[in-house]
Every structure is written in structure tokens, then in C-alpha cells.
């Protein structure tokens, strides 16, 4: 989704960067959307849960809160992100039973059927080969174990006042993510991806964010601090790639900020998928 909460699990460049501002944005996003995205996700005490691509720990905190008795193993490809995640979770939940591992989702350092559950959020969108990662996650999941995947889809954006200039700057981010090997439109593909990766009992449901003047928390936490901040973060790359000019970029961002005005509205859809690893 709009962002991601994570460093990519392969060596693809993370289009949003690793700045302190990005870490704050990821935290704002996770906290603002926790009720929407984590509703219905809770793991039984004693179960082993793999968080694949934990990034800076923005989602880990919410996993710990919703499943206090679960044994969570959080992995990420970025050592820097893992250090931030450890500090973030320790500050929020110092007694949380989280194990941190530096690992690549293409080749995880775990035996077959090591986990009861796998959770991954805003990770597949940054991978050059999400099917490969899903196959590896299936390998480490026990038969009958569950997979939960959450992704966004920038093609779901609707807003008022309408503006082709604002839509264009969003399209620049989609193109840059594609050039980096990712897919900002992956939400719509979750069902076929999971089917091809060999999962069973797949269910995909939309989780929609709608913000207007009656929902100021979402206007600030999602529209302004999550989505628009994400688009603004790729300004330099868009200019360097020749996708836009400074004047055109500024016009688009100004129009995008108009959606946070009292007469503005903003809509975005996430997709949450659950599936099982088939029994032999």
C-alpha cells in the first residue's frame, strides 16, 4: 500500500528510502490503520508466528498487542530497519516475546513447517518476484497453518476535488516503484498470486479508507501523513528520472493537498487475504 511498512525482502531498492521521516510515516500509517487492517487477526497463545518483512516494527507492535501470548519471529532484509524495529517495539512493549532475525524472504533460515502462522503487510508490493517469496513462506508454514497478507493498490485512489495533476504525481510513484522492481497495484492480484503459490481456502476482502471533514483523524493520519507524505517522498526521483518538472510536481502536490481541505474527500482500498497451507 501506500508505502510500505517494510524494507524489501530482495535486493530491490526501497523506493521510499530509509530516512527518519519515512520511519515516522510508517508509524503514523500503522497506528492510524490498526483497527482497519488488524481486525480479525489474533494468534493463539503459544503459537509461532512469522512476521515476514517487519521493517521498522510499525506493524509488529500491533501484532504483539492483538496476540500477547504468541511467539513472534520478525524478519527483515535490512539490518538498519531491524535495529529500528527492535528499539520501537522495546519502547512500546518491553516484555513482548519477539525474536529478531536478519533474513531474505527468498531463502529463509528456518526448517520446513517451522511456523503456525505467517503475517506479511506491505511487503509483496516491493518484491521483484512475489510468487517466489510466497512459495518460501509456504515452505516454512506447517500444514493447516495460516497466511495473512495485506497490500494496497494505488489504482484504487479516488478523491475530490478531482485533479489530473494530482493523479499524475500518483502515477509517477507507481512508475518509479515499477522501475525499482515492485508493484504498487498488487492488491488486486492477491487471489491469483496465492492460488499459483499453492495455498488453499483463499479469501480476499477489501479494507477501505474514506476520509472527509467528519473524520479528521483519518484526514491527518492517512490522507496527509501517510498517502501524501509517501508521494512527496519520491519527488527527487521523479525529477531525476525526467518524469516531471518542478512546476508540474508542485501543482500536483498542491492539488493533492486540496483533498484535506474541509470540502475535500479521499478514498483508498487495501486488500487483506487469508489462506491455509494445504494438508498433505
Cβ-proximal residues to 240 (8 Å cutoff; 6+ apart), any chain: none
Which strand (E) or helix (H) includes residue 265? strand 265-276
What does the block give as the cell for 2? Answer: 501506500
**What pLDDT sits at residue 34?**
84
Q: What is the DSSP string of 145-197?
A: EEEEEEEE-GGG-EEES--HHHHHHHHHHHHHHHHTT--TTGGGGHHHHHHHT
What does the block give as the cell for 69? Answer: 501470548
**What pLDDT sits at residue 108?**
97
> Which single residue is written with the C-alpha cell 479528521?
216
Of 265, 277, 238, which is closest to residue 113 (Cα–Cα)?
277
Per-residue pLDDT of the chain (280 residues; tens, 9 = 90+): 444 343 333 444 444 445 565 555 555 666 778 889 989 999 999 999 999 999 999 999 999 999 999 999 999 999 999 999 999 999 989 989 899 999 999 999 999 999 999 999 999 999 999 999 999 999 999 999 999 999 999 999 999 999 999 999 999 999 999 999 999 999 999 999 999 999 999 999 999 999 999 999 999 999 999 999 999 999 999 999 999 999 999 999 999 999 999 999 999 999 999 999 999 8
Amino acid at each position: 500500500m501506500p508505502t510500505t511498512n517494510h524494507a524489501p525482502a530482495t535486493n530491490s531498492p526501497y523506493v521510499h528510502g530509509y530516512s527518519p521521516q519515512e520511519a515516522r510515516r510508517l508509524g503514523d500509517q500503522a497506528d492510524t490503520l490498526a483497527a482497519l487492517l488488524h481486525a480479525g487477526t489474533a494468534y493463539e497463545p503459544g503459537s509461532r508466528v512469522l512476521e515476514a518483512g517487519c521493517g521498522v516494527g510499525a506493524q509488529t507492535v500491533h501484532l504483539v498487542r492483538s496476540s500477547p501470548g504468541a511467539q513472534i519471529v520478525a524478519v527483515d532484509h535490512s539490518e538498519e530497519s531491524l535495529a529500528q524495529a527492535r528499539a520501537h517495539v522495546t519502547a512500546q512493549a518491553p516484555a513482548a516475546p519477539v525474536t529478531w532475525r536478519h533474513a531474505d524472504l527468498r531463502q529463509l533460515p528456518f526448517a520446513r513447517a517451522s511456523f503456525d502462522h505467517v503475517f506479511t503487510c506491505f511487503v509483496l508490493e516491493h518484491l521483484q518476484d512475489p510468487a517466489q517469496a510466497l512459495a518460501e513462506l509456504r515452505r516454512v508454514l506447517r500444514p493447516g497453518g495460516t497466511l495473512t497478507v495485506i497490500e494496497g493498490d494505488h489504482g484504487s485512489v479516488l478523491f475530490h476535488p478531482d485533479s489530473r495533476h494530482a493523479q499524475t504525481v500518483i502515477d509517477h510513484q507507481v512508475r518509479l516503484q515499477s522501475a525499482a522492481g515492485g508493484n504498487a497495484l498488487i492488491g488486486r492480484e492477491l487471489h491469483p498470486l496465492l492460488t499459483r503459490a499453492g495455498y488453499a481456502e483463499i479469501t480476499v476482502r477489501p479494507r477501505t479508507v474514506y476520509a472527509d471533514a467528519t473524520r479528521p483523524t483519518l484526514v491527518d493520519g492517512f490522507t496527509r501523513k501517510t498517502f501524501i507524505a509517501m508521494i512527496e517522498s519520491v519527488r527527487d526521483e521523479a525529477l531525476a528520472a525526467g518524469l516531471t518538472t518542478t512546476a508540474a510536481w508542485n501543482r500536483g502536490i498542491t492539488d493533492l493537498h486540496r483533498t484535506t481541505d474541509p470540502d475535500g474527500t479521499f478514498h483508498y482500498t487495501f486488500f487483506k487475504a487469508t489462506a491455509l497451507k494445504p494438508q498433505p
